[in-house]
Chains A and B, each alone.
Chain A
Amino acid sequence: MLEITRENQGALVILSIAGQLDATTAPELDAALMSASDAGSRYMVLNCTRLTYVSSAGLRILLKVYKQLKPTNGVLALTALQPHIREIFELTGFTNLFSIHMTQEAAIRALTPPTNLLP
């Protein structure tokens, strides 16, 4: 079971996921991320504080979003991976693809350009 909540903060979309990201629930996250992407969001934060499990079906969805965002310089940042989930990301090399932060606030800061750089 996976619970997904979505919040918009300016140009940022924050998705918080709670529960298990497995072969059964991966399509739900796929739909939520695709919906945000189709709506034009290029900067997304995936808050994983309450994510308890991930399998290759979940990784496949994250890779799909990465490939979709890359041509437009979009970013998917991940936050607060539990140690056993971080281990899977490290084993598979996914830590090299995504910007990973300790907290949601840190991810938001990293994705928000300083106002003096805005045109």
Chain B
Amino acid sequence: MPACCRLTLSNQLTAIADTMRQVEQFMTSHRISNAAVPAALLALEESLVNIVTHGFNDDRLHFITVDVTLSDKQIALEITDDGIPFDPISLPPPDRSAPLEARPIGGLGVWLTKQMMTDMRYRREDERNKLFLLKEWA
């Protein structure tokens, strides 16, 4: 039986750490303690930082929701925000032929998320961005 929780945070960087802590507690309270946990937390933080930093072009307060679903061998995260349309999956991968120190550091978080997660999908629905992240393990 999957376990679900929904968390809401404001579009402020200071709100991210508390959300991360709550998601981590939710995972450990459901006895998920394998390598999927840090991978999912990393994907969550990278995505939230991107949304909060680049997702809004006004000074209004916005709210972002995080839906977490835990099942036997899966962690699913869905992040919803009402910011400007942004599909992180469309970002080009970093130029791996350039020396690391010469590469722009932006985009590294999205790239890392793609590497760490089993699946990553984006859709725009009802004027909202919906980012789905899945981590599976054997």
The judgment on whether A and B are partners is: yes
CA distance A107 to B63 in the complex (A): 45
CA distance A88 to B111 in the complex (A): 11
Those of B103-121 within 8 Å (CB) of chain A = 105, 108-109, 112, 115-116
Instruction: Name the one of A24, A59, A83, A97 contacting B108, with C-beta atoms under 8 angstroms.
Output: A59
Instruction: Name the one of A66, A67, A84, A92 contacting B112, with C-beta atoms under 8 angstroms.
Output: A92
Contact call A23/B49, Cβ cutoff below 8 A? yes
Number of contacting residues on B, CB 8 A? 22
CA distance A67 to B102 in the complex (A): 10
Contact call A56/B13, Cβ cutoff below 8 A? no
Contact call A56/B17, Cβ cutoff below 8 A? no
Label chain A's interface by main secondary structure. helix
Contact call B42/A88, Cβ cutoff below 8 A? yes
CA distance A97 to B103 in the complex (A): 13
Cβ of A63 within 8 Å of any chain B Cβ, yes or no, is yes
CA distance A24 to B49 in the complex (A): 10
Counting chain B CB atoms within 10 Å of each CB, the highest count among A23, A59, A92, A97 belongs to: A23
Q: Which residue of A lies closest to B107 (CB)?
A: A56
Cβ of B61 within 8 Å of any chain A Cβ, yes or no, is no
Those of B1-37 within 8 Å (CB) of chain A = 13-14, 16-17, 20, 35
Contact call A55/B109, Cβ cutoff below 8 A? yes
CA distance A56 to B94 in the complex (A): 13
Instruction: Name the one of B16, B35, B105, B108 contacting A84, with C-beta atoms under 8 angstroms.
Output: B35
Residues of B within 8 A of A94 (CB): 100
Contact call A56/B109, Cβ cutoff below 8 A? yes
Those of A48-84 within 8 Å (CB) of chain B = 52-53, 55-57, 59-60, 63, 66-67, 70, 83-84
CA distance A94 to B111 in the complex (A): 14
Cβ of B46 within 8 Å of any chain A Cβ, yes or no, is yes
Q: A56-B109, A57-B49 in contact; A93/B42 too (CB < 8 A)? A: no
CA distance A91 to B117 in the complex (A): 13
Contact call A91/B100, Cβ cutoff below 8 A? no
Contact call A53/B41, Cβ cutoff below 8 A? yes
Cβ of A96 within 8 Å of any chain B Cβ, yes or no, is yes
Contact call A63/B20, Cβ cutoff below 8 A? no
Q: Which residue of A lies closest to B102 (CB)?
A: A67
Question: Besides the contacts A53-B38, A96-B100, what 6 more A-B pairs have beta carbons closer than 8 Å?
Answer: A24-B14, A53-B42, A63-B101, A66-B101, A67-B101, A84-B35
